[in-house]
Amino acid sequence: MWTAGVGWRGVDFEVVVVDSSGAETLAPTGFGGARVGALIELLLECAARAGGALDCVVESTNGIIDGHLLAAGLRVFRVDPWSLPQRPPHGSVPARVLAEIGRAGSSGALNRLGPGTGSLAGREAECAANAAGSAEAELELGRDGRYFTRGSGKRLEVALTFDDGPHPGYTPQILDILHRYGVTATFFPVGLYAAAHPDLVARIVDAGHGLGNHTWSHPHLPDLSRDEVLRQVEATGDALAKAAGAAPGLVRPPYGARTPDVLRWLVEPGLTAVLWDVDANDWASPGAETIIANVTGGVTAGSIVLMHDAGGNRSQTVEALPRILEILLERDYAFVPVNAASLT
């Protein structure tokens, strides 16, 4: 069995592969955000050399690569902070550390991920408890106009949102479809990919779509300190400002994972936290028809819809989007970007 540790450091992913004895079959190698395809190809080559026996190990601050690994058919495991040494301020633990933990198969340290379970497999109850415990903070921030899950419903409007991009394959297709139907949406890119594809961020804004901040590396924010959360948001804001001319005023926590502290840290720089009330569940690749039903069956006046333009294979999202737009347009919905005016 070979094991690949996949970490991140600033604008790069870091990969190392070891065999069953711990010897490196691939020395630490860096891949920028624009070279995810090359990273996947290399891991598939390693899997073939290992006779198909390759495990990939990530950690909870790196939630933007596991979906791509899974879509390629690779086995993926997550390690949580309590099983790891201290991280650097803006990165994961070294890829070699992740590979060693995977090779050792430490009891209780590894969580197997799958297309239908998502990046936080095994932590669902914890996330639900954190969300429930955030209700008072949500009410407080909502009264101040700093937290929304949907609009007021006073108008027959819906806000489509797309997370985790930009992706050079899927984002342009989604933009083309939105243009064809004359529909405006809001995109929440992650900083690492925004820095790699500034042209796509610029295209989003030039087309009149809204823009929000989805953190740098798509971490599970409750695992981070205040300084780490703020750095994730600040670095992403800087990348988006460089590409689009201005940093957005909206922020969305990955997975919607939150605690009262996390919510207050997110809005501390003067941002508004935006979640959703309709989840397409397209991240799980359930089929285009299911995605269509999830959206059109859940939307009411004022809904904010969660979809994805990256983070894995999004061909089903691309396939489903035209029919979603047609159905909602037939129901006389107006499509609006997420902003203070559309939420009140």
| CA 29 – CA 13 distance, rounded (Å) | 8
151 burial type by CB count under 10 A (0-12 exposed, 13-18 middle, 19+ buried): buried
CB 322 within 8 A of CB 176: no
Pairing of strands 334-335, 54-59: unpaired
DSSP string, 89-133: TTB-S-HHHHHHHHHHT-TTTEEEE-TTT-TTTT-HHHHHHHHHT
How far apart, in Å, do the first and last CA atoms of the chain sit?
55
Nearest to 272 by CA among 246, 257, 252: 252
CB 25 within 8 A of CB 117: no
The contacts of residue 335 (CB under 8 Å, 6+ apart) are: 157, 158, 159, 160, 183, 184, 185, 325, 328
Residue 167 CA to chain centroid, in angstroms? Answer: 12
DSSP code for 334 = E
Both tokens assigned to 325: 């737009």
Neighbours of 314 (CB within 10 A): 28
Beta bridge partners of 24: 18
Both tokens assigned to 273: 């936290």
Local structure of 184: helix, strand or coil: coil
The amino acid at 300: T
Task: Give the residue numbers annotated as catalytic, written as ranges.
Answer: 163, 308
CB 301 within 8 A of CB 332: no
